[in-house]
Amino acid sequence: MLRSMYSGISGMKNFQVKLDVIGNNIANVNTYGFKKGRTIFKDLVSQQIAGASAPTANSGGVNPKQVGLGAQLAAIDTVQTQGSLQTTARVLDLAISGDGFFVLGDNSGNNRLYTRAGNFYLDSQGYIVSADGRYLLGNGNTRIQIPTTAQSLSIGSDGTVNYVDNTGTLQVAGRIELAKFANNDGLEKVGDNLFRSTTNSGAETLTSPGVGGAGKIVPGALEMSNVDLSEEFTEMIVAQRGFQANTRIITTSDEILQELVNLKK
C-alpha cells in the first residue's frame, strides 16, 4: 500500500483531536476561570531511503534522502494566561489578578484541589464554600467561617476576611491563601473548574495574595475564560481545511491504487 495513505490517516486523526479541543474551548467561552487548550503536532519517524555521504577529494557531500510517514500528537497544552475580569459587586465573588489558585479541600484540609473560579458562597454554618460544597481553605489548612450572627463581611485584596459581629465590632475571620506551582501547565484538569497537582506541576507553595509573586485578590469580580472566539474560529477553519486536505490525500492514493489494479484487464 502507498505510504501517503497512512500519512493521510495520521493527519486526519490529529485534526480530529484539534477539533475536539477547539469545540471544548468554545463550549467553555463563558465558564469562569476556564483555561483554554491548545494542540501541538510533530512529525512521525522518517523512512531512510539513502544516507548522507561526506565530501571526497573528487566530489561534494550528499544529503540524506528520507520520506516522512505522517504526523502525531505532540502535546495538548493548557494555556494559563490571565482572563479578563468581570465586575459583579458581589462580596463573595473573588478574582485573582496575577499568578496563583484558590485552594479547596474537605473539613480536614485534605483532598486539595485548585481553582481560578472565585464564585464562593456561605453554607448554613457560615463556612465559605465553592459552588459544589468544597471548603475554601486559608491560613494553611483551615476553613474560613463567618458567624451566622454577623451583620456584614468584606474581603480585602490581601485575602483578609473581615466581618462585623452583632455588637458592631470589626473581627477577622481568617486570611485566604493562594497556591503557586513551579509549572502551572503541569496541573491536571479534573472538571468543575478544578485542577489537581501532578508530579510535573510540582508541589504547592502557599502564600498570601500579593506576596512572593502571587497575584492579588480582586473582590467583587470574577475571572472570565481566556478563550478568544475569533482565534478559535480561525483555528477551526484551519483544522477543517487540514482535515479536508488529508482526506484528499487518501482519495488520490486510492485512485492511484485503482489505476494499478486496472492495469491488467
Tell me the whole-structure pTM to 2 decimals. 0.86
Contact (CB, 8 A) for 254 and 5: yes
Residue 26 has pLDDT above 90, yes or no: yes
Note whether 205 and 128 are same-domain residues: yes
Per the domain annotation, does 17 fall within a domain? yes
Per the domain annotation, does 60 fall within a domain? no
Note whether 144 and 215 are same-domain residues: yes
Note whether 74 and 118 are same-domain residues: no
Confidence band (pLDDT; 50, 70, 90) for 161?
very high
Q: How many domains does the chain divide into? A: 2
The percentage of the chain sitting over the pLDDT mark of 90, rounded to a whole number, equals 73
| pLDDT single digits (tens) 80-104 | 999 999 999 999 999 999 999 999 9
Q: What is the Cβ-side half-sphere exposure of residue 174, based on CA atoms within 13 angstroms?
A: 17
Region of poorest pLDDT, from 137-141, 154-158, 191-195 = 137-141
Q: What is the mean pLDDT of residues 70-83?
A: 93
Per the domain annotation, does 54 fall within a domain? no
CA separation for the pair 209, 139 (Å, rounded) = 12
As a whole number, the mean pLDDT across the chain is 92
| pLDDT single digits (tens) 228-241 | 999 999 999 999 99
Note whether 196 and 112 are same-domain residues: yes
How high is the pLDDT of residue 46? 83
Residue 1 has pLDDT above 70, yes or no: no
Residue 206 has pLDDT above 80, yes or no: yes
Q: What is the mean pLDDT of residues 4-24?
A: 93
CA separation for the pair 12, 48 (Å, rounded) = 24
How high is the pLDDT of residue 141? 82
Q: What is the mean pLDDT of residues 10-23?
A: 95
How high is the pLDDT of residue 170? 93
Per the domain annotation, does 59 fall within a domain? no
Note whether 147 and 233 are same-domain residues: no
Note whether 107 and 139 are same-domain residues: yes
Note whether 131 and 170 are same-domain residues: yes
Note whether 199 and 241 are same-domain residues: no
More confident residue, 212 or 102: 102
Torsion sign across C-alpha atoms 82, 102, 113, 135: negative
Give the total residue count for the chain.
Answer: 265
Q: What is the mean pLDDT of residues 145-169?
A: 92
Query: Residue 64: helix, strand or coil by DSSP?
Result: coil
Per the domain annotation, does 39 fall within a domain? yes
Note whether 104 and 143 are same-domain residues: yes
Amino acid at 106: D
Q: What is the mean pLDDT of residues 10-15?
A: 93
How many other C-beta atoms lie within 10 A of the C-beta of residue 29? 15
Separate counts of helices (H) and strands (E) for the chain: 2, 21
Structural domain for 257, as ranges? 3-48+65-80+227-261
- Alpha helices for 45-124 (secondary structure H): none
Per the domain annotation, does 183 fall within a domain? yes
Per the domain annotation, does 57 fall within a domain? no
- Alpha helices for the chain (secondary structure H): 3-27, 229-261
Question: 127: closest CA among 105, 111, 110, 98?
Answer: 105
Note whether 193 and 239 are same-domain residues: no
Q: Which residue has the cell 495538548?
A: 76
